[in-house]
Structures are given as structure tokens and as C-alpha cells.
Amino acid sequence: MHPVVPRSEQTVLNHGTTAAVITYTKGRVIKTHAGPKVRFDPPQPSIKSLIREREIYEALGEHPYILKYYGSIPMDGDGGASALWLERAEYDTIRSILEHSTPLPVELLPIVNDSRTRWRWIFQLISALAHLHAHSFIHCDISCRNIVVTSSLDAKLIDFGSSAILREKGLGAEEARYSCPLKILANKLPSFQSDIFALGSAMYEILTGSPPYNDITSEEAEERFELLQFPNTANLGAGDVILGCWMGKFLAVTQVESELKMVTFTASLIDL
């Protein structure tokens, strides 16, 4: 039987367009289509998204760099979706850390700003994404807003509510600066390459502190991507690998990992 926190004691930690994350038990949260002061109307897209996410968590099993899933919890009026019982990440998302919107203990600041930590996050993301692809799922929303940091300062991939089964449509799409150009995206369907394109943007954001083309509008960024015009990566470690992700060079995320490991700069910074 699942422990239950009274609604009067539940707090909304975060919510998007289709789901809310609320406190549940110590170190754990529930992700649901309805919570205190949060209700989605109509609820159908949210319910469908939660069902997809639950199916993916159950298919993936445990992975060290994917948020832990403890099972589903029926909620009133959930339409069969069931809320997701999940691990709570101590320090929110990588983006919130990079933007300094998540307060960190002073002693952790030098660690999260250390290039070795940033590269560790990148390799942890790659490991999680490889595990996802090995099960024939496409994330469809890789982004630093969907990578959280735990108390051990490890990165974990989250949010599979937009994800697709290989060769099928997803239930959502990437944000503009992570969206794969149609010139690269075969058949206009989510693919391993569209996730790898987004991985390139995530690597860029982790290393620079900002998403690609953060100084222009989302529409302008998408236009440049469609023209295959990308930010300069020459001064970044493994900049050629990031550019390769954007240019559709890699067919599998394991190829990205292999090429990164051959780069002297990164190999000298992290125990591979």
C-alpha cells in the first residue's frame, strides 16, 4: 500500500502544460494530471502523456542516469493514467543550475562550475539516451530542462511524456533551440538522429551555460537551424562532435560517445 500525504500538505513543485509534480513522501514525488491548485482542462492530452511515460518507465527498468520510477498510484478521475511515483532530484534541472535559479550550497558552486562535472553530466546523459534507444524509444524532448541533478551531483534524464516509439509520432516535440531541421529529419518522424541533434544542443548548453543562439528569438534560431547555420563551437572541447550531432553525422548515440572518448581534451578531464 502506498503512503499518502494529505492534500493539505502537498506542494506543487513544478508543472507544465500536461502534468504537475507534487510532493508525496520524503525524497519522492508524484507526477499527475491534477494536483493542489493545478488541473488540466481538458485532461485527455495529459492522461495520454502519463500513460506513455508510465509504459516507458516500466519497459526501461532501472538505469543509474534515468530518474527512478517506483510505480503508479491511482488518482481520482485519472482516466486510467495513474500518477507516477518518482524519485525527487535534490537540485532540480541542469538549466536551473546554469541559470542560477536553483540555490545551491556555497560549497557546491566550485564543483558544478568545474569542467569535469560538466563532462560527467554529458556522459551520463549519453548513457541514459543510449539505454532509451536500445529499447526503441525516442525521447522527443531532450533538453537541459529535462535533465535533473541529484544530491550526489549526478545527472538523470526525465520526462518521457512526449516520447515516441521508433517509427511512430511522438506526443510532443523539442523546444526551438533543440529541434532537428527537416533537412536532417528523415520522413518528418522522430528518430535517433533527432534525439542526437538535441543532444548536441544539450552539450552546448552544459558547456557554455546557455542554449544555442540564446541571444536571438526562438523563431530566428529555428530559421538558422533550417539553413544548417549553427553557433561557433571551435573554442569548445569536442566542438566538432557537437557540430556533428547538429549536422546529422551520427546514426547512433554510441557513435557520439566513441568519438568523445577519442578527444584528448575530454579524455584528460574525466575517468572514462
Position 222 scores a pLDDT of 93
Cell, residue 245: 550531432
Q: Which runs of E-coded beta strand occur in the chain?
A: 12-15, 20-25, 28-32, 34-35, 38-39, 69-73, 83-87, 137-138, 147-149, 155-157, 164-165
The dihedral through the CA atoms of 236, 238, 240, 245 has a sign that is negative
CATH 3.30.200.20 domain locations along the chain: 7-87
For the segment(s) 94-267, the CATH number from 3.40.50.300, 1.10.510.10, 3.40.190.10, 3.30.590.10 is 1.10.510.10
Cα(158)–Cα(139) distance, integer angstroms: 9
Neighbour count for residue 36 (Cβ, 10 Å) = 14
Position 8 scores a pLDDT of 46
Cα(111)–Cα(120) distance, integer angstroms: 11
Cα(34)–Cα(13) distance, integer angstroms: 13
Encode 89-125: b = buried (16+ Cβ within 10 Å), e = exposed.
Answer: bebbbbbbbbeeebebeeeeeeebeeeebbbbbbbbb
User: Maximum distance among all alpha carbons in the chain?
Assistant: 55
- Nearest of 226, 244, 271, 5 to residue 119 by alpha carbon: 271
Cα distances (Å, whole numbers) of residue 107 to 59, 99, 112, 150, 152: 38, 18, 10, 15, 13
Pairing of strands 34-35, 38-39: antiparallel
Strand partners for 233: none
* Phi, psi dihedrals of residue 125, rounded to the nearest 5°: -60, -45
Position 263 scores a pLDDT of 79
pLDDT, one tens digit per residue, over 191-222 is 999 999 999 999 999 999 999 999 999 999 99
Output the pTM of the full model. Answer: 0.88
CATH 1.10.510.10 domain locations along the chain: 94-267
CATH superfamily of the domain spanning 7-87 = Phosphorylase Kinase; domain 1 (3.30.200.20)
Mean pLDDT of successive 10-residue stretches along the chain, which has 272 residues: 52 65 76 61 68 93 96 68 85 93 89 93 98 97 96 96 86 91 78 96 96 96 94 90 95 95 62 48
Position 272 scores a pLDDT of 45
Q: Which of left, alpha, beta for 77 (phi over 0: left; psi -120 to 50: alpha)?
A: left
Position 5 scores a pLDDT of 47
Cα distances (Å, whole numbers) of residue 211 to 99, 169, 201, 216: 11, 25, 7, 11
